[in-house]
A and B are shown apart, each in its own frame.
Chain A
Amino acid sequence: MDWFKRKKGISGNERKSIPDGLWVKCNKCNEIIYRRELQKRMFVCPKCNYHFRVTSKEFIQYYFDEGSFREFNQNIRSVDPLKFKDSKKYTDKLKEAQKKTGLNEAVVTGDATIHGQPVVTAVMDFFFIGGSMGSVVGEKISRAIDRALEKRVPLIIVATSGGARMMEGALSLMQMAKTSAKLARLSDAGIPYIAVLTDPTTGGTTASFAMLGDIHIAEPGALIGFAGQRVIKQTIGQDLPEGFQTAEFLLEHGFVDLIVARQEMRATLARILRILWPINGENGKSREKLETAGAAANPEVHSDNSSPPGTGRQTAG
């Protein structure tokens, strides 16, 4: 009876999935909610504001303009470089996850718009092996960063992940370095990156691209942290403080800029982008003209630009 042995925590990736059935019980307040109603409310409990875990498909629907999302690199798939096997072969686990989610991997990348503003995005999916980051997740996110850099549009990563994927060993670990190194290039080029942290964002994902945004936005109540709660509890030998590793905890400790409800996310992202990266610029100036003007006003921004030719701000001077 494996069922009863399943432990609580983020490793059980079937837990807290989008519930089936006509009626749904809230994981937090136990309120029984009509499924249709919940769907209409973007899977947020009307009584306690609990944000259910949703798939990448829902995030794309909620956060970006309707029908604007165009996926790229969808056919990059995982291989099994370690020939990894526990109770199941890794290749079987992948097949299973692909069948269950209809996705090829734990992240979906594409072009989209937010209130008409073009962005490049990478949206993770917790229901694909716990949103874990292996070679493919790292590669797809890296290519999304490259694309944002090339197109000079803001990058939005929606994070939800149990961390690095164990079944690819050190290769998974290296994806942390890879994505972070690419983000350094994006940052040098002066292109905004907004990290949206959703429940849960932990481990190697948090310790790389999820914590490197220009702006960090979290969904209410999201679990965000580095080490697993069970491990910490074992280490310190006492109970964890209330609200430990929640979005609110991170806001209090200075690691999250804003906590934004799911229903408000698109509008908030749009407001931020309008200020950080105005498409029509101020006073009718185009984005390019604005950048040129900025270059003239702040020459030092460009003089210490350490990005290589072809990737830096070409409008300088």
Chain B
Amino acid sequence: MLKKNFRMILDFEKPIVELEKKIAEMEEYARETGMDLTEDIARLTKKVETLRKDVYSKLTPWQRVQLARHPDRPYTLDYIQRMAGDFIELHGDRYFADDPAVVAGIARIEEFRVVIIGQQKGRDVKENLYRNFGMSNPEGYRKALRVMKMGAKFRMPVISLIDTPGAYPGVGAEERGQAEAIARNLLEMSHLPVPIVIAIIGEGASGGALGIGVGDVILMMENCWYSVISPEGCAAILWRDNAKAPQAAEAMKLTAPDLLEMGIIDRIVPEPPGGAHWDYDQAAATLKTFILEELRRLVTIPPQELIEKRVEKFARMGYWKE
């Protein structure tokens, strides 16, 4: 199962990983000595499966937040690489700069020519500095919009992958209109005359996420979070204490099942056992299946009806009494 030697292990993953290590050692030992350990290994393997099911069936919201942020989790480009053929990345917002925190481009997925956009985190320090930890500046939103509009011109559906700890809170970002860039995307995406499929693949932090998050269908992978603020931000405001983030995560109802119940997302995309970081290929294959199902359905809807339905979809969101 382990694909890399230096995988980061979360606390609740430890018992599983330790058992797996033991199995690997036994296999190694059996090979070296020629001893027959098949039965023991089978017994332990079964135990791992049970344990895994047990741990992952009762994840707390905070544990899901940790999985969503797992440094080994597949990112936008990992999915694009596995889902799409002939991806051509495009650059720049045509006004100011190219924002590496957002990836945008054109590609093919099976029978579709598509536009793919998504927030991109870095895998190590150097890459994270380059990608700004997946926190986009206004240029990122404007680049995404430019490419989406181009796609619409050529009748290409849009796939948008969300994974960001938030829009970048910097001086330059404010000077160049972070709020306007996000607001503009909300308005334009609500009226784009081609199908838009949104998938939350990691973190969905507030306006930073929503800025590329208006679409006909909102998919959410199993171990992601999506809310109005990060659990830490919520804890800092409400309890003046970042360490209360686990409680905040609980209170905010930010997991996929919560959001499905509230009508904010449409479908939950199952992840491989233990989370997407255990098997990139399987995670991408499942996501691709879901996206294709939605695209095949959406392309049959006339553009005007599509837009109407999209606006109405968001208009229905919320709870009140009168």
Contact = CB atoms under 8 A, between A and B. Distances in A.
Contacts of A180: 183, 186-187, 190, 214
B35 interface: no
Contact of A184 (B227, B254, B311): B311
A76 B186 contact: no
Interface in B118-171: 167-171
A86, A168, A240, A249 pick with most chain B CB within 10 angstroms = A86
A232 B190 contact: no
Contact of B167 (A86, A184, A208, A227): A227
B228 A306 contact: no
Contacts of B267: none
Nearest to B226: A170
Contacts of A78: 320
Given A166-B237, A203-B207, A204-B228, A142 B180 contact: no
Contact of B184 (A169, A206, A212, A308): A212
B114 interface: no
Nearest to B312: A181
A87 B239 CA distance: 8
Contacts of B186: 176-177, 180-181, 207-208
B314 A184 contact: no
Given A86-B239, A142-B315, A225-B179, A177 B190 contact: yes
Contact of B228 (A76, A164, A185, A225): A164
A174 B264 contact: yes
Contacts of A168: 228, 318-319
Contacts of A188: 191
Nearest to B174: A225
Contacts of B322: 73, 75-77
Interface stretch (B36-44, B282-290, B302-310): B302-310
Interface in A147-198: 164-166, 168-178, 180-185, 187-188
Given A180-B187, A227-B174, A171 B318 contact: yes
Interface in B228-262: 228-229, 233-234, 237-240, 251-254, 259, 262
Contact of A181 (B174, B178, B190): B190
Top-7 shortest CB links A-B = A135-B318, A227-B169, A181-B190, A180-B186, A206-B179, A226-B179, A211-B183
Given A136-B320, A227-B174, 19 more contacts: A11-B237, A76-B321, A77-B322, A79-B320, A87-B239, A135-B317, A164-B229, A166-B234, A166-B252, A168-B318, A172-B228, A176-B207, A184-B190, A206-B179, A207-B178, A212-B184, A225-B179, A249-B175, A308-B308
20 contacts: A7-B240, A86-B251, A87-B239, A168-B319, A169-B253, A170-B226, A174-B314, A174-B317, A174-B318, A176-B183, A176-B186, A184-B311, A185-B311, A204-B228, A226-B167, A232-B170, A232-B171, A235-B168, A306-B193, A308-B304
Interface of A: 5, 7, 11, 73, 75-79, 81-82, 84-87, 134-136, 138-139, 142, 164-166, 168-178, 180-185, 187-188, 203-204, 206-212, 225-228, 231-232, 235-236, 240-241, 244-245, 249, 253-255, 306, 308
